[in-house]
Amino acid sequence: MRSVEEHQRVVAEMIRARPAVAVPLAQSQGLALADDVVARLALPVFDNSAMDGYAVRAEDTTGATAERPVVLPVAEDIPAGRTDELTLQPKTAHRIMTGAPLPAGATAVVPVEDTDGGVDSVAIRAPRGPGKHIRRAGEDVAPGTTVLRKGQVVTPAVLGLAAALGMAELPVIPRQRVLVISTGSELVVPGDSLRPGQIYESNSIMLAGAVREAGAEVTAVATAEDDVAQFGSLLDRYAADCDLIITSGGVSAGAYEVVKDAFGREGGQGVEFVKVAMQPGMPQGLGRVRTEGGGATIVTLPGNPVSALVSFEVFLRPALRRAMCLPDPERPHRSAVLTESLTSPRGKRQFRRAILDHDAARVTSYGPPASHHLRWLASANALLDIPEDVVEVAEGTELQVWDLS
Q: Which residues bind Mg ion (CB under 5 A)?
A: 184, 249-250, 303
ω before 44 within 30° of 0 (cis)?
A: yes
Q: What is the DSSP string of 104-163?
A: BT--EEEEGGGB---SSEEEE-S---TTTTEEPTTSSB-TT-EEE-TT-B--HHHHHHHH
Does 280 engage in binding with ligand AMP (CB under 6 A)?
A: no
Does 300 engage in binding with ligand AMP (CB under 6 A)?
A: no
CB of 14 to ligand AMP, least distance (A): 21
Q: Which is nearer to ligand AMP, 38 or 199 (CB)?
A: 199
Residue range at the interface with ligand AMP (CB under 6 A); choices 78-86, 105-113, 121-129, 249-257 = 249-257
Does 305 engage in binding with ligand AMP (CB under 6 A)?
A: yes
Does 184 engage in binding with ligand AMP (CB under 6 A)?
A: yes
Q: Among residues 107, 182, 279, 291, which is the contact residue for ligand AMP, using CB under 6 A?
A: 182
Q: Which of ligand AMP, Mg ion, none has residue 69 at its interface (CB below 5 to 8 Å by kind)?
A: none
Does 279 engage in binding with ligand AMP (CB under 6 A)?
A: no
Q: Which is nearer to ligand AMP, 44 or 303 (CB)?
A: 303
Q: Among residues 69, 127, 174, 249, which is the contact residue for ligand AMP, using CB under 6 A?
A: 249
Does 296 engage in binding with ligand AMP (CB under 6 A)?
A: no
Does 185 engage in binding with ligand AMP (CB under 6 A)?
A: no
Q: Within its chain, how far is the Cα of 335 from the centroid?
A: 26
Q: Which is nearer to ligand AMP, 172 or 258 (CB)?
A: 258
Query: CA 400 to CA 214: how far, in whole Å?
Result: 22
Q: Which is nearer to Mg ion, 158 or 251 (CB)?
A: 251
Alpha helices (H) in 196-303, listed in sequence order: 203-213, 228-238, 258-263
Give the single-character DSSP code of 88: P
CB of 369 to ligand AMP, least distance (A): 15
Cβ burial of 113 (10 Å; 0-12, 13-18, 19+) is: exposed
CB of 183 to Mg ion, least distance (A): 6
Q: Which is nearer to ligand AMP, 204 or 297 (CB)?
A: 204
List of residues 6+ apart from 4 with CB closer than 8 A = 276, 277, 278, 314, 349
CB of 257 to ligand AMP, least distance (A): 7
- Count of residues near ligand AMP by CB under 6 A: 17
Does 261 engage in binding with ligand AMP (CB under 6 A)?
A: no
Does 247 engage in binding with ligand AMP (CB under 6 A)?
A: no
Max Cα–Cα distance, the chain, nearest Å: 98
Does 302 engage in binding with ligand AMP (CB under 6 A)?
A: yes
Query: CA 197 to CA 175: how far, in whole Å?
Result: 38
Closest CA to 93 of 127, 137, 61, 65: 61
CB-based contact 231:258 (threshold 8 Å): yes
CB of 184 to ligand AMP, least distance (A): 4
Amino acid code (one letter) for 78: I
Degrees to nearest 5, angle at CA 146 with 140 and 151: 120
Closest CA to 383 of 285, 317, 303: 317
What residues numbered 194-223 form the site for ligand AMP, per CB under 6 A?
199, 201-204
Interface residue list for ligand AMP (CB under 6 A): 182, 184, 186-187, 199, 201-204, 248-250, 252, 302-305
